[in-house]
Amino acid sequence: MQRRMFVKWISVLIIVTFFQTSVGFAEYQEKVENVIFMIPDGFSTSYATNYRIFKGDNISFDSLLVGMMKTNSANSWVTDSAAAATAMATGVKTNNRMIGVSPKGQELKTILEASKEAGKSTGLVTTVSITDATPAAFGAHVQSRKSEYDIAKQLVGKVDVLLGGGRSRFTPRSTEDENVIEIALSEGYRYMDNRKKLLNDSETGTRVLGLFAEEELTPVVDLQTDDQPSLAEMATEALRVLEKNEEGFFLMIESGQIDRAGHVHDPVWAMNEIKAFEEAVNKVLEFARQDQKTLVVIAGDHDTGGMSVGGYNEYVANIELVKEAKATGNKIASMLNKRRSNAKELVKQYSGITLTKKEEKEIKKAKKKEVAIVLNDIISKRAYVGWNTHVHSGVDVPIYAYGPASQNFRGHLDNTDLPKKIAEALEITF
């Protein structure tokens, strides 16, 4: 009797093990046709935690957490966005400020370029300039991230869908320069410069250039008009155009202003940009669930600002305080009168906080370039959000993944591992 029971349990164990192995093997073998690489610039675990508290609920992509990622560049434990994006695009570390080239200046093939060579369509979407460091690193090769006109010229023709800000980077700097928008039109792009054109776009052409601001898009919490699209709306348009290619596509979507908020210690700006990013993620996941051949990878390029959850020698976290705020610190600072005597009124109106006399004095004494930061630090202190730098920190950042081959992103990875694993999933040479 005992022998029969033993044999029976062994048989069950073998069947279960075989089933699990088969499922794991099948999962690994699932075909990946499309990749959507989403980069919340400056986002780390502290931003995730604070946003969860701010939202009052889990983040919609919390369940997709698979690992953590190292972010250092070739010449520093603390990376800038250019080196970070280059590593995430090429699989090779470079020095800070360099785009798409090795520390010695050699051009490096990017995962976007490899996807293009494999017959796939390509796209870049961002809330900052399309020539800024993160999108630039996926399709351009320059010694300095400041060479944004040259970056614009390199992106056009190589990337099928370009949506974001940076219109000024596409126009001539001198009489010797070409108008890059005109070059794009001559190469079959349809051009749009406002949200209405984007939302009404139903054309079948596969190349789109959308430049919705001279520089960066307006922070979502500061928007007072409807002439600029949201990140979710740009993502939706990019997917509509790119999915026409039967060979698949590679799309990078960046939420660039989480980083901007961190640099100036603005929790209102940061939380609202993460909210907009989450909305874009939800649109992407909706597409991926229906398609079933799309790999979605989400990872910040680095931490910005060294944000903490709680602080100021108190066991308190109160970032919910900024939930009803209606403007960034930069916006409030721009509305101050010459003597800054209206600071108390404006801060109350746009953040709900009543300034103390000491805080009013701090605002009045601040240098012109530092007024917004002083405002932000006052609001951060009330919300018990600490900061330890105005640049980046070198902490690891979370990785999220969904879809076929998502299991390959588990564990503690280097930023150079991500494009290699994406190439492996796509079965392309890289």
404 domain-assigned:
yes
145 domain-assigned:
yes
76 domain-assigned:
yes
Q: pLDDT tens across 142-190, in order?
A: 999 999 999 999 999 999 999 999 999 999 988 889 999 999 999 999 9
CA distances from 311 to 165, 300, 315, 357 (A): 35, 23, 7, 23
Q: How confident is the model at residue 30 (pLDDT cuts 50, 70, 90)?
A: confident
17 domain-assigned:
yes
Whether 298 and 372 share a structural domain: no
Structure tokens that stand for 42 in this block:
């400056």
Top pLDDT among 26 and 256 is at: 256
- The whole-model pTM stands at 0.93
Whether 185 and 276 share a structural domain: yes
Among 73, 81, 115, 255, the active-site one is: 81
Question: In terms of DSSP H, where are the helices of 302-416?
Answer: 329-335, 343-351, 357-365, 371-382
**81 in active site:** yes
Three-state DSSP at 81 gives helix
263 domain-assigned:
yes
Whether 222 and 263 share a structural domain: yes
Whether 15 and 39 share a structural domain: no
Whether 230 and 343 share a structural domain: no
Whether 263 and 349 share a structural domain: no
Q: How confident is the model at residue 385 (pLDDT cuts 50, 70, 90)?
A: very high
Range 55-84 average pLDDT: 98
Whether 190 and 337 share a structural domain: no
Whether 149 and 208 share a structural domain: yes
Structure tokens that stand for 116 in this block:
């293009």
CATH number for the domain including 404?
3.40.720.10
- Taking the C-alpha atoms of residue 96 and residue 214, their distance in angstroms, rounded to an integer, is 26
Three-state DSSP at 148 gives helix
Range 114-137 average pLDDT: 98
Q: pLDDT tens across 234-263, in order?
A: 999 999 999 999 999 999 999 999 999 999
260 domain-assigned:
yes
Structure tokens that stand for 240 in this block:
């509509």
- Taking the C-alpha atoms of residue 319 and residue 50, their distance in angstroms, rounded to an integer, is 7
Whether 266 and 245 share a structural domain: yes
313 domain-assigned:
no
Write down the mean pLDDT value for the chain: 94
Whether 287 and 364 share a structural domain: no
- Taking the C-alpha atoms of residue 163 and residue 182, their distance in angstroms, rounded to an integer, is 16
Whether 298 and 333 share a structural domain: no
Whether 192 and 244 share a structural domain: yes
Number of domains in the chain: 3
Q: Indicate whether 206 pLDDT > 70.
A: yes
Q: pLDDT tens across 307-318, in order?
A: 999 988 889 999
156 domain-assigned:
yes
Domain extent for 20: 1-30
Q: pLDDT tens across 331-368, in order?
A: 999 999 999 999 999 999 999 999 999 999 999 999 99
